Copies of this chain bind each other. A is one copy, B any other.
Amino acid sequence: MTTPPTNGLNTAPQQPSTRLSVNQATIKYAGLGEALRVVRDTGVQSIGLWREPVAEVGLPEAARLVTDSGLRVSSLCRGGFFTAVEGPTRRASLDDNRRAIDETATLAAAGAPGSAAVLVLVAGGLPDGSTDLTGARARMRDAVAELEPEARATGVTLALEPLHPMYAADRAVLSTLGQALDIAEQFPAEAVGVVVDTFHIWWDPAVAEQIARAGASGRIASYQVCDWVTPLPADVLLARGMMGDGHIDFATLTRAVTAAGYTGDVEVEIFNQKIWDSDPAAVVERTVRAFAETVPL
């Protein structure tokens, strides 16, 4: 046996794609300050934020940290969860979404030029004990209609995220890109778009035509990537894997998104206990490498 030559290619720091954004959920246990620092120090130029770590430091301080980081903000996760029937729970949810719209505008303004004022919306599931999927879907649509004027007035895009159908009962009654576009297209494109997340939509036989449709109507507000790994873990919320570790064809999906005209940041958003338990800086470095190997931009 001979020792293979080492040219350092696998360990040398890699210049990240200028369009890569690391969603903070990928390094969930880092606070906002640490997340911004780790992402920036790796040479990544953009970050996707979550409301909880923003709330931990307060919105004004969060905006200051974002500005100081020099990073773009690619989205804020997340609003939504508005399938409740009319009553105090629904009103509280809509009020919370209004606050999320304002936070999105503030954080995008605090980010570097090219930041996107995009609020990711997860629909919410069936109310407890209900089997009325059609009704829940109608109430989701009505909530978007109620929030859309405020989003438009503040320059925020509501990004409807279809979630994988395995979450339809308990998390998101919005299940396909086509269904999301059926709603989004009822409103101005600058106010209501969709999230294209590979994990949620890769299986859809209509995915190519729906990505093209989303592009044609200017609705792709966010493109997120992570992989589908099997076997699914016991908690399917944590089923996402690093690109390349699973079954998704990122090349085909990314080319479709590009052909549809999307030129914005591409977020890596991974919910995965093993990744969360790793050092955040190492995770971001691994993300940079995996992104370069799997996502053709």
Contacts and interface: CB of A to CB of B under 8 A. Distances in A.
A131 interface: yes
Please provide the 4 A-B residue pairs with the shortest distance between their CB atoms, ordered closest to farther. Answer: A168-B203, A234-B234, A169-B247, A131-B249
A87 interface: no
Interface residues of A, number: 34
27 contacts: A126-B247, A131-B247, A131-B248, A131-B249, A132-B249, A133-B203, A133-B247, A133-B249, A164-B165, A164-B166, A165-B165, A165-B166, A165-B203, A165-B204, A168-B203, A169-B203, A169-B246, A170-B230, A170-B231, A170-B247, A175-B204, A175-B205, A176-B205, A178-B206, A179-B205, A182-B205, A234-B234
Contacts of A168: 202-203
Contacts of A247: 126, 130-131, 133, 169-170
A205 B137 contact: yes
* Number of copies of this chain that the complex holds: 2
A223 interface: no
A92 interface: no
Nearest to A137: B205
Contacts of A137: 205
Nearest to A229: B169
Interface string A199-229: 0001111100000000000000000000010
A161 B189 CA distance: 37
